[in-house]
Structure 1
Amino acid sequence: MDTDSNPPGAGVSGLAKEGEQFGRAIRRSLGDIFSEAFEIYRKNPAMIIPSLLPIAALILGIGFFASFLGLAVVIGDWGKIMAFSAVGGLLLLIVLLIISFFVAEGLTIEMIKEASSGRKVDLNYAWQTSKGRMEPLILSSILAGIITAIGYLLLVIPGIILSFALYFVAQAVMIDGRSGVDAIKTSWGFVKSNLSDSIVIILASMLICIVLQAIPGIGPLLCLLSLPYIYALATLLYLDQKKMPPVRQETSVSIS
């Protein structure tokens, strides 16, 4: 009787190596993930609150801009102060919106983790447990955004590929505690190991926002309120894979 064991694959370097940590065992169907994401959102309406942060940032930015305009009128030097007000207000608004979106995403992911574990969702608890990861989340997300933007500038197709490959950077930070390049590698490896499921989740999330934004008047608001569900889809898929056992090496036995 001869026993031959399949040798492990050759060493894999760089981004591809990150994919080894995600198993390919039997898992929940995508239909189950879509259903569970909806149930989590339905049973935990408090998840809407973080998504309102960008609206608060927008209002604050507009107020800041308006105050500069008022100052320009009072002082009377309209030209220079008006220009400074416009630039300063716009920059502040952009910064506030970017930070608020990242913080909202991090808080929501933490709340989804709690809900998926059967625990009660609490905004204060989510903040206390996740605030230490907000800085890595913001920096990692900005880094991923810069890399993706460069991909679009060089050629559209690399930009699209990077948009998909780096979609789970926030989950890598909030769930695995990764940061910077490590978070990017983890997201890349996750998408590589779960390509079809990742593509379905990403395309479905994009479709939801496109359809909602097409609704006149309230479209942007509806898209904003759909973010907890969209975050839940990605987070549940990511968590589902983290629960998978490692892949065992197959052994073939031949009897002569």
Structure 2
Amino acid sequence: MYPAPPKVAVCLLLALCASGSRTAQAQTNAIPDHNWGTWHIATVILPAGPKHWGGYAEAQTRANGLLRQYFYTELKGGVSYDVAKNFTLMLAGGRYSTADYRDLSDGPLNVEKRLWQQLTFTHLAARLKMEHRYRVEQRWFNFRDDVVPAGSFRYRNRLRYRFNAFLPLNHPTVADKTAFLSVYDEVFFNPRGPFFERNRVYAGMGYQFDQHWTIQAGWVNQANYTAASYRQNIFTPQTTATKNNVVLSVMYRISRGNAAGPTPEHIPSQPD
């Protein structure tokens, strides 16, 4: 019989989730979307082998409603290098397509090509697994009919930071047949403005069947911020658009056949 999860760890997970939610909602001129959306994420991961190299590929689709009104897709992948046991570098890229769900036949409204560099650091506090992720993105946009919307740019940079925490429930580590809790808060910064572009907070549960398969289901609240403006003697305050989404994800981890010794513990982090 394994000991129950520490109360302090559970309280930390709940506090992180609650604080991120308040940050997303406690803004001026808020515009909440009362319809829940859906995110589907499918990921294949190649863990770092004896020479420290690994990688991943992912497909994602999003809907404006629950399992309906699909409008967005992502295809991405990258290569990683384990500098140390808990310290990983990554170079990755992807294609992101946004359409109008009411008329998908017209094609995407815009297509984004993205390249990013990433640093991930993980550490453990008893059973609690914590991950810090830092990302620098370069983003190129193509707009339908070559019409750039007001306030948009064909090229933008972005900085992201995510703190992710995991708590296994029925084992002291995330091993085979392990249920776990996961929460994260991620902030997005844009040098062009608005500087604080987005906040994303997630809470969910997952289950690792074996060294290959892991599933997760949860909730994510995404808040997008539009900078305040002053035009024609009219001041428009910062606008915050928020939306709740159901997240359903599946992850497959490829075995490294030449690995020796026991299977190392892998934190089931979503690469998204």
Please identify which structure carries the higher helix content: 1
Fold match (TM-score > 0.5): no
Q: What TM-score, normalized to structure 2?
A: 0.30
Larger-Rg structure = 1
Which structure has more relative contact order (CA 8 Å, sep 6+)? It is: 1
